[in-house]
Amino acid sequence: MIKPHGSDTLNPLLVTDEQQRLQLLDEAQGLPSVVLNSAAAANAVMLGAGYFNPLTGYMNLADSLSVAENLHTSDGLFWPVPVLNLVEDISAISGADRIALRDPNTEGNPIMAIMDVAAIDSVTDTQINMMAEHIFATLDPEHPGVATFTGLGRHLLSGNIQVLSLSYFQADFPGTFRTAGEIRNEIAERGWEKVVAFQTRNPMHRAHEELCRMAMERLDADGVVVHMLLGKLKQGDIPASVRDDCIRKMVELYFPANSVMVTGYGFDMLYAGPREAVLHAVFRQNMGCTHLIVGRDHAGVGDYYGAFDAQTIFDEKVPADALAIEIFNADHTAYSKKLGRVVMMNEAQDHSKDDFILLSGTKVRQMLGDGIAPPPEFSRPEVAQILMDYYQLETA
């Protein structure tokens, strides 16, 4: 199986020995504590679950600036996006060398992790903006990622952590949330060697379904891992539980047995386009996938990125030996009325735009809200029904 990024074996930071976990929780009750913001909590989940291997905790200021600007830490580890714990108020932990980190997304703010504080750095607005501009390629406050990042705080807590909880993800998504190690184990149990990862924060329409099928066929892959984001999204995006139902229905009805794993991970969407695509590649390698599908406007939002910037970054900025995972580049896929099937648009000869069935997200949402199913060439009817039920409840 493909090696994790940066090490020979996966080293998740979640404490799995129950006796040790209870001892640490008992210790944490007497430690100074801070309630994390959602971004830092998501980073703790990804560190705990092994997705951010080989990191052992939150980055310091020097590493954060280096990663933002140069895509590697001070000691040379390739990494695309700083893994930060920014806080607004440090009065409760001032002078402490070991602290408890509390979950902002669970009632009562239970303890998520214990952190050995290596440093507390003050971050200037100039440094925050520099990092944001490198990560998001814009400082537009209307960009949801920029708005979140620049408002997280100006005190940077760095140091190793021991993760004691993966927040609400295991309880809320027991059939879907998986750690990187659990996915590796299932890939091994299935006997898969060549494995394609498909990233999604949306329900999967026919184009997404066919893209997975194309990738498997062209790469002669054993299977595909549909890996959906389960954390926070921007307003208006479809909740994870609805997406989960849609994807599982599609897989059940339209894919052969033992060809698709439906899983999810606990992270908040960054909407960082190219940089986020590279982060996706890093943690898909950590969970055992050999290939990642990178499509048009991967991890993008609005018009902030070029259609294929998330593909070209791998050629232009990612060193050839930085990652073992390979990228499957995909164009926009759509149903061709001429050919009677879903195709990559750049591979369809003698086609104009009118030869494809193309619907905007706005149009699809309007149709679903009105109880009108999109054409079956665009969305499987069983999937469309789940979405219509959701939108009609939302607009009732």
Catalytic annotation, residues: 201-202
Q: Which long-range contacts (CB under 8 A, 24 or more apart) does 125-134 make?
A: 125/154, 127/61, 127/65, 128/154, 130/65, 130/68, 130/69, 131/64, 131/65, 131/68, 131/82, 134/68, 134/69, 134/275
DSSP string, 310-355: HHHHHHHTS-TTS-SSEEEE---EEEETTTTEEEEGGG-TT--GGG
Residue type, 336: S
> What is the signed CA dihedral for 251, 253, 257, 260, rounded to 10 degrees?
-10
Task: Give the integer Cα–Cα distance in Å for 312 and 328.
Answer: 12
Which position has the token pair 């997200």? 361
Radius of gyration of the chain (CA): 21
Task: Give the integer Cα–Cα distance in Å for 362 and 114.
Answer: 44
Q: How far apart are the first and last CA of the chain?
A: 49
CA atoms 10, 16, 20, 24: torsion sign: positive
| Structural contact between residues 213 and 346, judged by C-beta atoms closer than 8 angstroms | no
Task: Give the integer Cα–Cα distance in Å for 135 and 271.
Answer: 10
